[in-house]
Structure 1
Amino acid sequence: MRYMIFSSVVASQKQLLRICISALHIFVSIFSTVLRWTAGECKNTISPNKHRDEKTVQSAIPTSVNYHFTRKCNYKCGFCFHTAKTSFVLPLEEAKRGLQLLKEAGMEKINFSGGEPFLHDKGEFLGKLVQYCKQDLQLPSVSIVSNGSMIKEKWFQNYGGYLDILAISCDSFNEETNQLIGRTQGRKNHLDNLYKICKWCQQYKVAFKINSVINTFNADEDMTENILQLNPVRWKVFQCLLIDGENAGEAALREAERFVISDQQFQEFLDRHSSISCLVPESNEKMRNSYLILDEYMRFLDCREGRKDPSKSILDVGVKDAICFSGFDEMMFLKRGGKYVWSKADMKLDW
């Protein structure tokens, strides 16, 4: 009888031990899986492409960053893919803190955009950021993209010395076409502003650049004569791009479908202007994942899926963690010529 009881107790203990060991195995397995997920989260989120070099992605450096610090704009361009969904602008000191983080992470070039960057605080906020980046952070290149409508000569007098490149968006040299596109406000003449700003850039030693979005309204236009006359350091020519939630889809503030052109139409425009040496073509394929874009909250925007999916703010998690969720393809950035002579000190321009 005692032997039976003893055997039963031993058997129970062995069974309990097996249960404990089994539970331990399960716990270790779950814990290991969580660790793998945590370690691989950045890699898996960056790119669904299994053939992509994950080590290269993880070590991506924010060499060139586009900071859209405001979404507000005084123009209503029908194809705009960064629309006024919010009116938020970071406090100046917070914006400077973010720029400092980017510099520490390897940023060499900052491009301020919008919206219309000269609209907020009549350009003073922008001017202070430009001065900070060149004077305090000593970045090799500081640039701006603007529609040109709000720029005054006094701004050049105060801040022009800190600016390397000023890009003005101009989609047509026909004022009626600009009005059809929505690149207009009241009685302001977009082309008059363009030529005036070109002269100011020459006067205050700022490299002048032109950006054009090619769409159904200007695809057949020949801009050769005007571009040669203005002589920009670069003429960036974009293919009209649809971004869900921005200029396409139910939640969008614009309906850009009627502006979209085919790849063939875009190529025909490029062929027509092939004699212009400063032309830099940007097809939809090149644009989607070769830009590092920061929104008004300093979140990187991932555009690979045809929309803008935000990361967490670099102010909260730092640049290294946030850039993992940017969808940025550093190889495509280099392939499209994203790194060029972008400091006016190195351009050797004839002022």
Structure 2
Amino acid sequence: VTCWCDSVGSKMQISSVVASPGRLLQLCISTLCCVLTSVFSKVRRWTAGTCKGTASPVSPADSRPDEGEAQTPTSVNYHFTRKCNYKCGFCFHTAKTSFVLPLEEAKSGLRLLKESGMEKINFSGGEPFLHEKGDFLGKLVQFCKQDLQLPSVSIVSNGSMIRENWFQKYGDHLDILAISCDSFDEATNQLIGRAQGRKSHLDNLYKIRDWCQQYKVAFKLNSVINTFNVDEDMTESITELGPVRWKVFQCLLIDGENAGEEALREAERFVISEQQFQEFLDRHSSVSCLVPESNEKMRNSYLILDEYMRFLDCREGRKDPSKSILDVGVKEAIRFSGFDEKMFLKRGGKYVWSKADMKLEW
């Protein structure tokens, strides 16, 4: 008897009728285990809404599909984990579940996205280097660049868990590493929650910048502008670090994530006005790599995939999930994503994102 498993379940083929009762029992148990593993994973996706703090798979988004032309998932942000070791007060993708898809299922979903037109994948969290000490993330990065041959593979991280041996093992497959840094004052980072104990977030930032240079990975910075850093002048520090891009986000409220009764964060005290955000941008107008992201641009111009591989619709100020692309396919799921492809292009979502085309001086 020959037994094997695939993504759907377990199949058994009778190749010989000669088998000992013990061997037959062993193979039957093995087959049952394969079936249960596959079923359990699918049940966890479909019943995510019954878990504490997760949104229902049958959501408001399911009743209002987008009309018009089919959307192409050119650039996808895959938040494969929600767990994080930092406690940023404005975080809008909080640790409401500890679920992470099995590696092979995650790869299957990424392959579906590639077949549907994906050119860039960005891995985020939570903190993506936290799960399996970054090895899970590294395997996904390698798969996307080596097997799927995506033009661009990137990561957003707080940087606290990154070690040099990760670059040695997986750096060749990574185009861009974005590190989140909201202030160049350690006390401000502590107030925001972008810290772990008394470790220096800034010392780590400069160390990672050097590793990116050494292992030929494009270095990027992300900053969330809020009440604690809105009056800061970061020009000198940004110029010294020399990132290829500096994404500057306006603090955004998402119901059920960082606002509202069901939220794990209370971000209202971090919110700034449009005028305050513009004043910050004006103060840094001399920084050539600055890329501003207002709340209006953020809400519907990003394709966000959650830990169950469901697209998240943020148009109504909350995250309404589609069904998983593993269950209904990309074309069906993306109809409920709220994705505005025109706004994606208007905000410069498509740029030179492959390190091979950046012509950087390493």
Query: TM-score range with shorter-chain normalisation?
Result: 0.7 to 0.9
| 1:45 corresponds to 2:57 | no
Distance of 2:345 and 2:79 partners within structure 1 = 22
Distance of 2:333 and 2:305 partners within structure 1 = 10
| 1:152 corresponds to 2:163 | yes
Amino acid at match of 2:64: T
* Aligned residue runs from structure 1 range 240-279, under 5 A: 240-279=251-290
Counterpart of 2:203 (choices 192, 206, 223) is 192
- CA deviations 1:257-315 (Å, max 9, x no partner) are 00000000000000000001100000000000000000000000000000000000000
Amino acid at match of 1:55: G
In structure 1, what is the equivalent of residue 221 of structure 2?
210
Counterpart of 2:296 (choices 282, 285, 288) is 285
Counterpart contact for 2:62–2:322, Cα < 8 Å:
no
| 1:119 corresponds to 2:154 | no
Distance of 1:260 and 1:125 partners within structure 2 = 34
Counterpart of 1:55 (choices 53, 68, 75) is 68
Distance of 2:324 and 2:180 partners within structure 1 = 28
Distance of 2:124 and 2:255 partners within structure 1 = 20
Structure 1 residue 43: Cα displacement? 11
Structure 1 residue 217: Cα displacement? 0.1
**SS at 1:46 equivalent:** coil
| 1:166 corresponds to 2:177 | yes
In structure 1, what is the equivalent of residue 245 of structure 2?
234
**SS at 1:176 equivalent:** helix
In structure 2, what is the equivalent of residue 96 of structure 1?
107
Structure 1 residue 188: Cα displacement? 1.5
Counterpart contact for 2:212–2:218, Cα < 8 Å:
yes
- CA deviations 1:135-167 (Å, max 9, x no partner) are 000000000000000000000000000000000
Counterpart of 1:133 (choices 118, 139, 144) is 144
| 1:296 corresponds to 2:307 | yes
Counterpart of 1:338 (choices 337, 344, 349) is 349
Q: Alpha carbons of 1:156 and 1:267: their partners in 2 closer, same or farther (altered >3 Å)?
A: same
Amino acid at match of 1:236: K
**SS at 2:68 equivalent:** helix
**SS at 1:79 equivalent:** coil
Where does the alignment leave 5 or more consecutive residues of structure 1 unmatched?
1-41, 48-53
Provide the aligned length of Structure 1 versus Structure 2: 303
In structure 1, what is the equivalent of residue 15 of structure 2?
none
Distance of 2:361 and 2:252 partners within structure 1 = 35
**SS at 1:151 equivalent:** coil
| 1:308 corresponds to 2:324 | no
- Bigger helix fraction: 1
Distance of 1:94 and 1:188 partners within structure 2 = 36
Distance of 1:311 and 1:87 partners within structure 2 = 19
The CA RMSD over aligned residues, in Å, is 1.3
Amino acid at match of 1:46: P
Counterpart contact for 2:154–2:177, Cα < 8 Å:
yes
Distance of 1:199 and 1:45 partners within structure 2 = 47
In structure 1, what is the equivalent of residue 33 of structure 2?
none
Structure 1 stretches of at least 4 aligned residues deviating more than 6 Å after TM superposition:
none
Taking structure 2 as the reference length, the TM-score comes to 0.83
Taking structure 1 as the reference length, the TM-score comes to 0.85
**SS at 1:132 equivalent:** helix
Structure 1 residue 108: Cα displacement? 0.2
Structure 1 residue 187: Cα displacement? 2.4
Amino acid at match of 2:243: P
In structure 2, what is the equivalent of residue 322 of structure 1?
333
| 1:350 corresponds to 2:361 | yes
**SS at 2:228 equivalent:** coil
Structure 1 residue 75: Cα displacement? 0.1
Distance of 1:345 and 1:205 partners within structure 2 = 10
**SS at 2:279 equivalent:** helix
Amino acid at match of 1:197: I
**SS at 2:199 equivalent:** coil
Point out the structure with max Rg over C-alpha.
1
Distance of 2:296 and 2:222 partners within structure 1 = 17
Amino acid at match of 2:236: E
**SS at 1:237 equivalent:** strand
**SS at 1:288 equivalent:** helix
Structure 1 residue 83: Cα displacement? 0.1
Among the aligned pairs, what percent are the same residue?
86
Where does the alignment leave 5 or more consecutive residues of structure 2 unmatched?
1-60
